[in-house]
């Protein structure tokens, strides 16, 4: 059986890519809820309803593990999903990202950029301070990065101007004044903007995202449950979208290596 993965759009493909690198024998079915993106500006009740519907659609296809490749849904709906799918391992992206940041920061001053809902929920703050209680965490919602990533405008003057506007306050001071030494890209749409963000924050700031650490958590979970695919499995990837599958396929090509893009993206209805 494949692993099921969902996000509001193409952002979670950054996680899918890391999963494929970590687990090359596994099959994947990825759902982008493109009809209802963005999740990051919606209320917890709405995000939870959307997440339940996306997870149900994947579970009905037969999956052996669910990856919530969306920080917003991981922050707001993970407990509900675990409650609903008791027989399935459900892995979110917030805890792996928080643990990676806690390990990467030397000074314990950590900045987190995410969607507005993830920032408002304080999920990263809590998860980072669970492993590093003395850490200072500054969070900020950067919703325009989601639109830039969906549009493919990840570099150039507009992306740079947006990054400066969002990040100047957090990084425009000295270390002595509390400048963070680590920045968490706490939204799966943000890694494609990594180079632009890097130019704004400088080379001395560690940029952390949860893709690779989530993939490592998934491997451990598959090993624990005895569900790891054998070396002679034939891996297959399916992409599903809730709207505009051709557009999804086009944008996905910017996130995934060409040999990994399936021939078509299937349109699904979650309502």
Looking at residue 143, what DSSP letter applies?
A: T
Q: Which of 116, 63, 118, 110 is closest to 93 using CA atoms?
A: 118
**Catalytic choice (70, 78, 159, 201):** 70
Beta carbon nearer to ligand DGL, 37 or 77: 37
Q: How far is the CB of 12 from ligand DGL (least distance, A)?
A: 6
Please identify the residue of the shown chain whose CB is closest to the bound ligand DGL. Answer: 40
- Tell me the C-alpha distance between 148 and 165, whole Å: 14
Q: How far is the CB of 57 from ligand DGL (least distance, A)?
A: 17
Q: Which two tokens stand for residue 131?
A: 């492993």
Q: How far is the CB of 77 from ligand DGL (least distance, A)?
A: 11
- Tell me the C-alpha distance between 44 and 28, whole Å: 27
List interacting residues with ligand DGL (CB under 6 A): 7-8, 11, 37-40, 70-72, 115, 118, 146, 187-189
**Catalytic choice (187, 208, 218, 251):** 187
Beta carbon nearer to ligand DGL, 15 or 201: 15
Q: Please confirm, yes or no, whether 142 is among the known catalytic residues.
A: no
Q: How far is the CB of 47 from ligand DGL (least distance, A)?
A: 9
Q: Which two tokens stand for residue 101?
A: 């940041």
Cβ neighbours for 86, distance < 8 A, ≥ 6 positions apart: none
Classified as helix, coil or strand, 271 is coil
Beta carbon nearer to ligand DGL, 190 or 229: 190
Q: Please confirm, yes or no, whether 187 is among the known catalytic residues.
A: yes
- Tell me the C-alpha distance between 37 and 31, whole Å: 12
Task: For residue 207, give Cα distances in angstroms to 47, 99, 100, 185, 196.
Answer: 27, 13, 10, 7, 12
Q: Which two tokens stand for residue 27?
A: 């099959």
Beta carbon nearer to ligand DGL, 184 or 229: 184
The residues annotated as belonging to the active site are: 70, 187
């Amino acid at each position: 059986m494949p692993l099921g993965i969902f996000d509001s759009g193409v952002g979670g493909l950054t996680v899918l890519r890391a999963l494929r690198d970590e687990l090359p024998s596994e099959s994947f079915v990825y759902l982008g809820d493109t009809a209802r993106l963005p999740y990051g500006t919606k209320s917890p009740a709405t995000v939870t309803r959307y997440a339940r519907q996306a997870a149900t659609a994947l579970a009905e296809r037969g999956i052996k593990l669910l990856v919530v490749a969306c920080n917003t849904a991981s922050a707001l709906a993970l407990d509900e999903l675990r409650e609903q799918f008791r027989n399935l391992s459900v892995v979110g992206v917030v805890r792996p990202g928080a643990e990676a940041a806690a390990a990467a920061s030397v000074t314990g001053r950590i900045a987190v950029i995410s969607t507005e809902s993830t920032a408002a929920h304080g999920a990263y703050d809590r998860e980072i301070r669970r492993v590093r209680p003395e850490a200072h965490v500054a969070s900020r919602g950067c919703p325009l990065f989601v639109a830039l990533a969906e549009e493919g405008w990840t570099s150039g003057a507009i992306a740079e101007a947006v990054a400066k506007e969002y990040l100047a306050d957090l990084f425009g001071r000295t270390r002595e004044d509390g400048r963070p030494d680590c920045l968490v890209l706490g939204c799966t749409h943000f890694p494609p903007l990594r180079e632009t963000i890097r130019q704004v924050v400088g080379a001395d700031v560690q940029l952390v995202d949860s893709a690779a650490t989530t993939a490592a958590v998934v491997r451990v979970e598959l090993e624990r449950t005895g569900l790891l695919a054998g070396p002679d499995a034939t891996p297959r990837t399916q992409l599903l979208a809730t709207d505009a599958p051709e557009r999804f396929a086009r944008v996905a090509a910017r996130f995934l290596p060409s040999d990994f893009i399936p021939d078509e993206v299937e349109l699904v209805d979650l309502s």
